[in-house]
């Protein structure tokens, strides 16, 4: 019986030693051939969708247009925002029901510029998304964060949320994205260097980044210590019971 107990204890010790984080399991930008290899993909611009809110700046010498599209030059903030309705259109002063869903920001600017040129030849239009945010949940923090520049990559996005915890499933990071064809889920291994410039690299407005918990996290946390403590105390009790005469 003592030999069996010794074998159990030895097994637990070895198990604990091997149940630890390694550089291969958590390091980023690795070049191992065993990791997925993603091909570079051309960057696609965000496509406007229903319920997006737009802020507009109209630059012109036409006093009427300046009045209808006020912009605060002192604070740098747009006063009005315009929502894209479920039918894909948005209403603006002077022009109504402009179809914008499915268009990029630059394409939408061109459409509005063409409409407003009916009132002023010198008009220039600048659009921006009011809802330029992404969401993070799971083992990389939680919350909504702003997309503060045109090309925000996955590493910068996760850094804003606090980074990836060691107990994360690095090989199964997910981006949940709304597209014209519906919701898509992109799953990828964030450890491989080939993620740079791939389809998973840049964040888009309304993205949800989900970082799952690794299956082995149980064996690498306080739960492991509790589990080992339970086993060792049980073995101790068993030894005591067997040795009592």
pTM confidence score: 0.74
For residues 69 and 193, the model is more confident at 193
Q: List CB contacts of 202: < 8 A, sequence separation 6 or more.
A: 43, 151, 152, 153, 154
Instruction: Show the CA angle centred on residue 105, arms to residues 133 and 200, nearest 5°.
Output: 50
Write down the pLDDT at residue 167: 86
User: In the 8-state DSSP scheme, what is residue 71?
Assistant: B
Count CB neighbours of 72 within 10 A: 9
Q: What is residue 36's predicted lDDT score, i.e. its pLDDT?
A: 95
Q: What pLDDT sits at residue 3?
A: 58
Instruction: Inform me whether the pLDDT recorded for 40 exceeds 50.
Output: yes
pLDDT for 64: 86
The tens digit of pLDDT for each residue in 159-216 reads 999 999 888 999 999 999 988 888 999 999 999 999 999 999 999 999 999 999 887 6
Answer for the pair 204, 46: CB distance below 8 angstroms, yes or no.
Answer: yes
pLDDT at 66: 86
Please give the pLDDT value at position 205.
Answer: 94
For 90-145, write each residue's pLDDT tens digit: 999 888 899 999 999 999 999 999 999 999 999 999 999 998 999 999 999 999 99
């Amino acid at each position: 019986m003592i030999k069996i107990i010794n074998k159990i204890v030895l097994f637990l010790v070895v198990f604990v030693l091997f149940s630890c984080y390694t550089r291969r399991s958590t390091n980023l930008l690795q070049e191992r051939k065993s990791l997925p290899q993603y091909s570079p993909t051309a960057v696609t611009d965000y496509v406007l969708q229903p319920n997006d809110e737009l802020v507009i700046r109209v630059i012109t010498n036409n006093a009427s247009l300046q009045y209808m599209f006020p912009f605060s030059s002192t604070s740098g903030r747009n006063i009005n925002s315009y929502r894209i309705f479920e039918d894909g259109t948005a209403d603006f002063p002077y022009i109504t029901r402009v179809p914008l869903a499915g268009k990029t920001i630059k394409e939408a600017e061109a459409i509005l510029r063409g409409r407003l040129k009916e009132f002023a030849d010198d008009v220039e239009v600048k659009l921006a998304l009011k809802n330029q945010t992404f969401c993070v949940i799971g083992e990389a923090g939680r919350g909504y964060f702003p997309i503060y520049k045109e090309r925000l990559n996955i590493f910068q996005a996760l850094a804003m949320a606090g980074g990836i915890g060691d107990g994360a499933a690095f090989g199964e990071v997910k981006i949940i994205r709304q597209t014209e064809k519906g919701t898509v889920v992109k799953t990828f291994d964030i450890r491989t260097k080939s993620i740079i410039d791939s389809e998973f690299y840049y964040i888009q407005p309304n993205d949800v980044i989900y970082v799952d918990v690794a299956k082995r996290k149980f064996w690498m946390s306080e739960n492991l210590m509790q589990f080992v403590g339970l086993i060792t105390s049980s073995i101790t009790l068993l030894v005591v019971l067997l040795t009592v005469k």
